[in-house]
């Protein structure tokens, strides 16, 4: 296995950059505006991972677009203050790049906000391909975004690994036929991720290097 992985695809939020606090705060701000005091931190955890459209559709199908607009406005305004780095990510991604791996991002986030986060964390120079919400008709766990990224990287599922912190990432990888790695630092916890049986669980991003034999 270790000889043939040439390509690593990463989810963004909760995997490469710590946007957990930003996302939770933004959801609570938005929901409190429409439904004061109804939602707690625990209530919004299931919204982490799905698209905004999917998340808000479960709250009020008639106000989805309105709530998405409110969410995005607050999220952008508070982005740089609330986004943090995860230990080991910058160094590991830099090493992978140096060693010649093809690197891509597959996210359910819009491209403009994805780039904002990558630039803030100084990760923007490492990735050859970004497949964001704007680029696909079906989002993870559908394999379409992964296939799209692999095609642009001139790579195949059998030589790729999908790394993420959410079940969407693991299932998308499995559906596409890649190796999968879950992040133990997922806000939903290691046990939650283990249920989806990724091939590997990373305790720290640097574990990828060990798996690849680097």
Burial of 51 (0-12, 13-18, 19+ CB in 10 A): middle
**Closest by CA position to 160, among listed 85, 61, 63, 147:** 147
Whole-angstrom CA distances from 97 to 23, 59, 101, 125, 165 are: 28, 41, 6, 10, 21
The question of whether 62 is a catalytic residue gets the answer no
User: Which of the following is catalytic: 11, 13, 18, 169?
Assistant: 11
Alpha carbons within 13 angstroms on the beta-carbon side of residue 111 total 7
Rg (CA), the chain: 17
> What is the rounded CA–CA span in Å between residue 113 and residue 17?
12
Angle at 143 between CA 84 and CA 141, to 5 degrees: 55
Catalytic (active-site) positions = 11
């Amino acid at each position: 296995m270790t000889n043939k992985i040439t390509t690593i695809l990463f989810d963004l939020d909760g995997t490469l950059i710590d946007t957990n606090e930003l996302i939770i705060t933004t959801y609570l701000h938005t929901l409190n505006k429409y439904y004061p005091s109804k939602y707690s931190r625990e209530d919004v955890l299931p919204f982490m991972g799905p698209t905004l459209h999917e998340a808000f559709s479960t709250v009020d199908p008639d106000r989805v677009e309105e709530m998405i607009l409110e969410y995005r406005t607050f999220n952008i305004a508070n982005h740089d203050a609330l986004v943090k780095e995860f230990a080991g990510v910058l160094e590991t991604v830099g090493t992978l790049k140096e060693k010649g791996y093809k690197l891509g991002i597959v996210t359910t986030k819009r491209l403009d906000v994805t780039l904002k986060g990558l630039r803030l964390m100084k990760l923007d120079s490492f990735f050859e391909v970004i497949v964001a919400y704007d680029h696909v008709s079906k989002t993870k766990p559908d394999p379409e975004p992964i296939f799209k990224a692999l095609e642009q990287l001139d790579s195949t599922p059998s030589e790729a690994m999908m790394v993420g912190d959410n079940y969407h990432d693991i299932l998308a990888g499995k559906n596409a036929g890649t190796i999968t790695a879950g992040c133990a630092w997922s806000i939903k916890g290691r046990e939650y991720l283990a249920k989806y049986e990724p091939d590997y669980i990373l305790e720290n991003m640097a574990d990828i290097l060990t798996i690849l034999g680097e």
